[in-house]
Amino acid sequence: MARAFTPKVVTANDLLEGDVIYLTTAGNWTRDLRDAELITDEAEAQLRLLDAQSQPQIAVGAYLADAKAGEQGPEPTHFREDFRRTGPSNYAHGKQEAKLEATADV
Amino acid sequence: MYKYNDFDSAFLAERNRQFRTQVERRIDGALTEDEFKPLRLMNGLYLQLHAYMLRVAIPYGTLNPDQMRALALLAAKWDKGYGHFTTRQNIQYNWPKLKDVPDMLDALAEVNLHAIQTSGNTIRNVTADHFAGAAADEIEDPRPIAELIRQWSTDHPEFQFMGRKFKIAVSGASNDRAVLKAHDLAVKIVKNDDGEIGYQVLVGGGLGRTPMIGKVLNEFVAADDLLPYIESVISVWNQLGRRDNKYKARIKITVHELGLEKIRELTEERFAQVRTTFGGADQALFQDIKRHFAAPEFRTGGTEAFDAAYDSDPVFRAWADTNLAAHKAPGHAIATISIKKHGATPGDATADQMRAMADIAEEFAYGELRISHEQNVILPHVHKNDLPAIHARLKAADLATANIGLISDIIACPGMDYCALATARSIPVAQEIATRFEDLKMEHDIGHLQIKISGCINACGHHHVGHIGILGLDRAGVENYQITLGGDATETAAIGTRTGPGFAYDEIVPAVERIVETYLEQRESAEEEFLQTYRRVGMEPFKAALYPAAEKKVA
Ligand code: HEM
Ligand code: SF4
């Protein structure tokens, strides 16, 4: 029996910045996993991936990552994706840095 | 220090100009990622988890102050203010932007540095003992050999598309500080009974998926024969090595499958043909290279200032006891600057720290700096009387940690915090172990103990040859750490043995603590080092401490 399809998000690295990006329902890219599209259908996931791969000027190395529905949007199911949406653990760099700056502005 | 000649400088400028165009063409869409990726990798540019990463080569780990300042400039101007020194005598920048990389490479070229990895299946950057040219136990500086091999192998037609990459290390000392036995090929300078200098050649070492300890292929290759001999070894392997399976293509597998005797025999056959094709030009080049590596004129004079500080200042004494090594010149020492402050990321130095080290080297240390595979920085030539002043400057730059060779002097690869290939984190494990033993105030009592951590099976953190090796894995979506004991990276090299099942992230520091407690219980005296105790008592007591429940079940 084929394995049940688990929900996915399309993710990649940004060509210019190198940072992690996700595909949204509208077909744009976001830097916040919570704003990504959670895809629950396997055929749809493949189509969305092809869509991402056809944008080489934005997205590098696009792939489907497992995710699950959370209160504020998709959440990672694996620690690798948890690090990718946050940043490294030895410095507050990466996405967590942007978040710190955003809070400091308020 | 070796000066790149005009050809090298022109070559670098041309490479950088080409890469600038390639980056532009990638950004404007003329190149696809599939086309661009091999080009950027050739220029040391990787795409990691959170950003691009630029890897800059530091040939045989040798830097002058201006080069160190250029590394600082890159960190300050185009990165987040720091750089990461690695076990391959490189520095990595974790946050460059694609558009900035050509400018970074140009800034490096101004001081003859580059990010050309000689990547691909070629002969890679030759690494050397980081105490080369300074150590008291050295027969001869091995770096001219490294440079000779670099010049000979660059663009050598036979060796551009081999079955796999080929890594060479060189040393001229009796103590192995270059992990010779973990390299595809290694050259050790030796003296025979007649007092003649020659080369011991080792082959077949390597870490990674199938770790192997290198074996002596030839005890004594005469000085004139080194290059033809190396060419013969590589040529034999290049023809026989397996190209069907990338995991089996390294020379360690060829040696393992055919046996050392057979490789020796084939090498001798090949050597008989190859030798006649070397007309002595290599020897002329070698003599020329050697002149560039001539040692500085060492100062003379007493060591009163050092002796006084050593007697009166316990902080200085602690640092001198752990961070200094014997120098060949009277009144001198080799000083290792620890880039392993407790709780900090192993190998990370800020731009300010790099500048401070460059200034110290310029003012006090004959303008020489080295990077060790242990991720520390070295002042290879220091007159002892300058050490109190150097120590004060290091303290001011937060670089005076006195822990070389101790449990907090940990090698750790970037792991899952940066590396796209990682299966688990390694940096925070290193940080927590160092902090824990600092809190316990035990590390000087524990003595010489090397912990090495890798975040996946590629073994960039050399875990196989750590006294305590830690390998981070992904077990069903959770980080899990395998421990090995008894690894050794020196002339008595050994691959560590697994203790048993792995440990979860929050169990790994307590597990290391139990290993250390067991060592302290088992050692015969404070002089018996961890590795000696392990070799004497074996794995059992450590296993019993790590897996008490399992032991009971068996009983
Ligand atoms: C973060 C980016 C890095 C990537 C993607 C990477 C990738 C790899 C890969 C794929 C290998 C295995 C090659 C093979 O066995 O054929 C390897 C080997 C190695 N890497 Fe890295 N590495 C990275 C960083 C580092 C760092 C930071 C260090 C030093 C701390 C390092 C030191 C080494 C060493 C010493 C080996 C050779 C192990 C052996 O003898 O087989 N690498 N690396
Ligand atoms: S050992 Fe693995 S995780 Fe660590 S740097 Fe090498 S490839 Fe990355």
DSSP letter for each residue of A6-74: PPEEEEEEETTT--EEEE-TTS-EES-GGGS--B--HHHHHHHHHHHHT-TTTEEEEEEEEEEEETTEE
* Inter-chain CB proximity A18 and B418 less than 8 Å: no
Tokens standing for B153? 């192998």
* Inter-chain CB proximity A94 and B51 less than 8 Å: yes
* Distance between A98 CA and the closest CA of chain B, angstroms: 13
pLDDT in tens, chain B (555 residues): 455 555 578 888 999 999 999 999 999 999 999 999 999 998 999 999 999 999 998 888 899 999 999 999 999 999 999 999 987 788 999 999 999 999 999 999 999 998 876 566 677 778 899 999 999 999 999 999 999 988 888 767 777 777 778 889 999 999 999 999 999 999 999 999 999 999 999 999 999 989 999 999 999 999 889 999 999 999 898 887 666 667 667 889 888 888 999 999 999 999 999 998 887 778 888 999 999 899 999 999 999 999 999 999 999 999 999 999 999 999 999 999 999 999 999 999 999 999 999 999 999 999 999 999 899 999 999 999 999 999 999 999 999 999 999 999 999 999 999 999 999 999 999 999 999 999 999 999 999 999 999 999 999 999 999 999 999 999 999 999 999 999 999 999 999 999 999 999 999 999 999 999 999 999 999 999 999 999 999 999 999 999 987 655 544
* Distance between B46 CA and the closest CA of chain A, angstroms: 10
Residue B167 CA, closest ligand 1 atom number: 40
* Inter-chain CB proximity B50 and A60 less than 8 Å: no
* Distance between A22 CA and the closest CA of chain B, angstroms: 13
pLDDT at A106 over 70: no
Percent of residues in chain B assigned helix, strand, coil, to nearest 5: 45, 20, 35
Max Cα separation, chain A?
53
Nearest to A64 by CA among A82, A44, A79: A44
What CA dihedral angle connects B452, B453, B456 and B457, to 10 degrees?
20
Tokens standing for B307? 């002796």
Distance from C-alpha of B86 to C-alpha of B461, rounded to nearest angstrom: 9
Q: How far is the CA of B459 from the centre of ligand 1 (A)?
A: 6
Q: How far is the CA of B529 from the centre of ligand 2 (A)?
A: 29
Per-residue pLDDT, B1: 45
B545 contacts: CB under 8 Å, gap ≥ 6: B514, B515, B517, B518
Per-residue pLDDT, B382: 98
Per-residue pLDDT, A105: 46
Cβ of B53 closer than 6 Å to ligand 2, yes or no, is no
Q: How far is the CA of B458 from the centre of ligand 1 (A)?
A: 6
- Ligand found nearest the CA of B412: 1
What does the DSSP 8-state code read for residue B115?
A: -
Q: How far is the CA of B419 from the centre of ligand 1 (A)?
A: 10
- Ligand found nearest the CA of B455: 2
Q: How far is the CA of B463 from the centre of ligand 1 (A)?
A: 12
Per-residue pLDDT, B119: 62
Cβ of B454 closer than 6 Å to ligand 2, yes or no, is yes
Q: Kindly state whether B527 is in contact with chain A, defined as any CB-CB distance less than 8 angstroms.
A: no
Protein residue closest via CA to atom 34 of ligand 1: B460
Select from B247, B458, B463, B471 the residue to mutate for testing ligand 1; criterion: most ligand atoms less than 8 Å from CB. B458
Q: How far is the CA of A51 from the centre of ligand 2 (A)?
A: 31
* Distance between B385 CA and the closest CA of chain A, angstroms: 37
Q: How many residues does the structure list for chain A?
A: 106
Per-residue pLDDT, B346: 96
With contacts defined as CB-CB under 8 Å, which chain A residues touch B474? Answer: 80
Per-residue pLDDT, A4: 81
- B27, B50, B99 ranked by CB distance to A88: nearest: B50
Per-residue pLDDT, B291: 92
Amino acid B205 reads G
Per-residue pLDDT, B380: 98
* Inter-chain CB proximity B425 and A20 less than 8 Å: no
Mean pLDDT computed over A5-22: 97
Protein residue closest via CA to atom 42 of ligand 1: B460
Nearest to B391 by CA among B441, B323, B446: B323
Secondary structure of residue B515 in the 3-state scheme: helix
CB pairs under 8 A between A and B: 77
Query: Residue B155, class by beta-carbon neighbours within 10 Å (0-12 exposed, 13-18 middle, 19+ buried)?
Result: exposed
pLDDT in tens, A46-91: 999 999 999 999 999 999 999 999 999 999 999 999 999 999 999 9
B283 contacts: CB under 8 Å, gap ≥ 6: B224
Cα separations in angstroms, B214 against B32, B183, B204, B490: 41, 7, 5, 12
Cβ of B421 closer than 6 Å to ligand 2, yes or no, is yes
With contacts defined as CB-CB under 8 Å, which chain B residues touch A16? Answer: 27, 97-99
With contacts defined as CB-CB under 8 Å, which chain B residues touch A22? Answer: none
* Distance between B440 CA and the closest CA of chain A, angstroms: 22
Mean pLDDT computed over A91-97: 92
Nearest to B464 by CA among B475, B450, B478: B450
CATH numbers and ranges of domains, chain B: 6-109 (3.90.480.20), 142-292 (3.30.413.10), 304-396 (3.90.480.20), 412-554 (3.30.413.10)
| DSSP codes joined into one string, B67-108 | HHHHHHHHHHHHSSSEEEE-TTSEEEES---GGGHHHHHHHH
With contacts defined as CB-CB under 8 Å, which chain A residues touch B26? Answer: 15
Extended beta strands in B261-415, E state: 324-326, 332-337, 348-350, 369-371, 377-383, 411-412
Which residue is associated with the tokens 């390639």?
Answer: B22
B194 contacts: CB under 8 Å, gap ≥ 6: none
Which residue is associated with the tokens 């100009």?
Answer: B17
Chain A interface mutation, best of B32, B48, B50, highest count of A Cβ atoms under 10 Å:
B50
